[in-house]
Structures are given as C-alpha cells and as structure tokens.
Amino acid sequence: MTPVLEMDGITRSFPGVRALDRVRFTVNAGEVVGLLGENGAGKSTLMKILAGVHRADAGEIWWQGRPAAFRGVREAQQAGVSLIFQELNVCPNLKPVDNLFLGRELRRRSGLLDYRSMRRKALELFEHLGVSVDLEAEARRLSTAVQQMIEIGKALLTDVKLLVMDEPTSSLTDKETERLFRVIRELKARGASVVFISHKLAEVFQITDRVVVLRDGRNAGELDPRTGTVDQLISLMVGRDLGSFAAERRAAAPGAEVLRVEGLSGGPVRDVSFTLRRGEILGVAGLIGSGRTEMARLLLGADRRASGRIVLDGRELRIRSPRDAVAAGFGFVPEDRKVQALVLGMTVRENLTLAIHRAVRRARLFLSRPAEEAVTDEFVRALRIRLASREQAVSDLSGGNQQKVVIARWLATKPRVLVLDEPTRGIDVAAKAEVHRIVAELADRGVAILLISSELPEILALADRVLVMHEGRAKAILGRAEASQETIMHAALKASA
C-alpha cells in the first residue's frame, strides 16, 4: 500500500525534556491506525507537529507523496488533514451551530449568513452521529461529551482525507462510541484515513487495522490487532509485563446512610432520588444527555436547583453554591480537569492546597508555606504522584498525575461525600489502575462516593449499586447482583426500566 502520510526522524524537545526522538510514523490510504503510548509518550506532540501547532526540531513529513510543512491547523485542514484534539476547542460562549461553522460560515448571495442552511446541516450531522444537542444552548452549558461530539462534527464538515482523533471517546458511552465507529468505517470506505489515539484498549482492537506504539518519545513497536493481545500491547507501552490492568470487583461493606437526595430537579434533571451510605460507591451511568453531570452540578450547587431535598448525616442542607457544598463536606472531581479543576500556571503545591486555605493559614492572614508543603508531601506519597518537585507547574505533569492532584485536593478537605465525574478520562492504562485503587481504598476507609462514568467496566468493577439516568430521570437503581452491561444499557435506552 502507498502511504498517504510519512513522518520520518521526527524530533522535538521542550525545556528539560525530549518529547520525540527520531520517530517514524506512516498511514496508508483508507487505513485506521492506532497511535498508543502512556501519558507523555509523545502521541499528541507528534500529531500537533503534523498539524503545524508545533515545529519539529528535525525530521521530514510527506503528505500525499509531497514534502509538507503545514503552518497551522487551518492550512492542514485545507490540505485535508483534520485534528480532533484531546483538549476541546469549542468556544464556550457560542452555540453549537456557530461552533460547527466558525471560520467557514455558509453565506447567501447577498453576503449575509445563511443560518437556516447551517442549522439544517447541523441537525443532519448530529442525527448522523446519533446524539441529541440543544442548538440554542451556549457550549458552556453542554456536557463535555456533547462538546466532544461538536468537535467531531467540525472535522466531519471538512473534505477530510486524514482524520486524527485524540481520545475521541473519553466521555462517550458504549452506544455513542458504536455510532462514532460507524462514522469511522464510512470514512474508511470512501478512502479516507484515520489516526485513532485512545487509552481504551478494547476499542483500539475493535476499530484499528494497525497499532503503532510510542514509549518515552521513541518508536516502541507495532502490533496487528487481529493477531496481537492486550498484554502484548501493554508490554509495548510500558516496557515490561505488568499483568492485567482490569479493575477487580471490590468487596462491598457499606455502613450507615450518609446522604439522602429526594426529588432533585433543575435544568434537564427531573425528580432524581437516591441514597448513599458510608463506604459505598454509587455508580451513575447513562447516555449523552441523560443528565449525569447536570445532576451532580445541582447536588453541589454549581447549577440552580428548582426543587428537591439534600440531607447529609440526617441534616437537610441549603446548598446555594459550591462553597456551601464544600463547607458541608462534599468534594468534587469534575470531568474536565484542565478547564474545571486545575490552575495550569500554578504549582502542584498551590493546586493541591487550594481547597484548604483556612487550614494552612497562620495568623489568619497569610498561608503557611511549611503547612502547605507538609500536606502536599503527604498526598504525593499516599497517591504515588510522580513529579520532579512540589514546585513544578501542574501543567507539566502527565494526565494521570494531574488527575491525582485533583483527587488529592479534595481528600485534603476530608470529605464525607466525594463526587467523581469521569475520574479516568484521558489517562493511560497504568494511571487508570492507580485511580481505581485510590477510589476503592477511599471507600474502604468510609468515604461515600458518587462515581459518574461512561465506561461500564469501570462502573461494574467499582460500584456497589448503579443509578441509571435517562433523559434527566433516575430510571433504575441496580444492586451488584443484577448490574451488568446488558441491564444497565436496557435501563439507559428505555423510557421505562
């Protein structure tokens, strides 16, 4: 087969680190190539060099048989190369239609915007992707999963010859992932190529024709998904045999009731009720638009509650803001750590202690640096956070270690209830296993956990019970014995469970 893309000898260094070292990467026409590696292996950097976001220090790029050096994303798109970045690039103040057609608006002969045609094409596109999107809502009001679908839609609106998808399913459920895979197969059938970057190994084996693995910025090898195994792929990624990373189902021993939610309503959420016990993990499952994240935001006071009661330790709470929720004993790890949780320009120490300033003050006025350092060191050890120093910028950490910093911040508050929204989104298989260990240990220590996840194996491995959402309502609460991928999807897809 003739390569449509050839990257040879690609080298790139950033201050203090060589991100890529003489990497070779090829893609053939009509081929789906998996690009895998641990966080920090260089996958995203390699694709950003292709798109002109970064410049290579050395190496050559050939696109459709000719030397290429795109000067930016727009020039790459004009040549037929589209990227869906792991960091979402939607404009939060714009509506979905405006985001889809930003920079390539449809116009009438008069020169005015043809908004009717753009709206019609947007509806057709989202229907093809199998997702319901509120076209009148600003993007900031939409879930991360819907924003991800908008990013995918933007790429599909171009005359794409090579589509790079960086963690496209990180917030999608199995049903939405199936629809996305159908779109990938359609692209492949018409001769387009796809680079598929993902930490979900089962998906890689399902959709790719060939897998290229990077490790520490270098080529580590290739694998044929038709004949290779998950263990072989993991060994290529991490350089050693670490056995199975699949989360093992934990033994449940919940205690007394900690949280009772009755009739919670607001926005798309309608009349949701559930209880949560000490040391229990309550999984929350559902499709895009089911109201999982919106329910958590109502619970924590991030969105306005229309009605409902929230009772913690037998006392009804009046939560009007996240500050009230934190003061009452809630912790919250949101689904988008870089936008909603971390201050990327600040250090690990500053990020980790953001929620406990009252506890690390001296003379009620100034923060105590030694107290901050002691807390940081404690949780760095407990959560096995890999970093150069506590004064390292949190933006320099891998995705898995960034997620551990966010979790550590809330553990430092000693929460009664910890809400985790997609806690393993966009992190590699080893880091995911570490997060699973942390969550299970927290529950064993008595923390009540609300676990929102698009990955049903994660829900089934960790949750003691599963709350299934459908169109803003709680359609089923399944015990461990009855919870399975089939029963959860049945409840998530049906109007009644």
Q: Which pLDDT tens digit goes with each residue over 170-191?
A: 777 788 888 889 889 988 998 9
Give me the amino acid identity at 280.
E
Q: What angle do CA 329, 285, 44 make, to 5 degrees?
A: 90
pLDDT for residue 252: 64
Orientation angle between helical segments 230-238 and 429-444, nearest 10 degrees: 100
Asked whether the predicted pLDDT for residue 245 surpasses 70, the reply is no
Query: Would you call 414 helix, strand, or coil by DSSP?
Result: coil
Q: Which pLDDT tens digit goes with each residue over 66-106?
A: 999 999 888 998 899 998 887 777 898 999 999 999 988 99
Rounded to whole angstroms, what are the CA distances from 201 to 196, 348, 410?
A: 11, 30, 29
pLDDT for residue 243: 46
Give me the amino acid identity at 131.
V
What is the average pLDDT across 292-297?
93
β-sheet bridge partners, residue 264: 272
Q: Which pLDDT tens digit goes with each residue over 42-55?
A: 898 999 999 999 99
Give me the amino acid identity at 322.
P
Asked whether the predicted pLDDT for residue 466 surpasses 90, the reply is yes
pLDDT for residue 154: 86
What is the average pLDDT across 150-172?
86
Q: Are 288 and 448 in contact (CB under 8 A)?
A: no
Distance CA 198, CA 212 (A): 12
Sign of CA dihedral 78, 82, 86, 90: positive
Rounded to whole angstroms, what are the CA distances from 281 to 206, 216, 317, 359, 465?
A: 30, 35, 21, 28, 7
| Domain range annotation of the chain | 3-238, 245-329+415-497, 344-393+404-413
For 124, other C-beta atoms within 10 Å of its C-beta total 10
Q: Is the pTM for the entire model greater than 0.85?
A: no
**CATH (one of 1.20.140.10, 3.30.1490.20, 1.10.132.20, 3.40.50.300) for 245-329+415-497:** 3.40.50.300
Give me the amino acid identity at 420.
L
**CATH (one of 3.40.50.300, 3.40.309.10, 3.40.50.10800, 3.90.1170.50) for 3-238:** 3.40.50.300
Q: Are 468 and 485 in contact (CB under 8 A)?
A: no
Higher per-residue pLDDT: 298 or 143: 298
* Diameter over CA atoms, the chain: 71
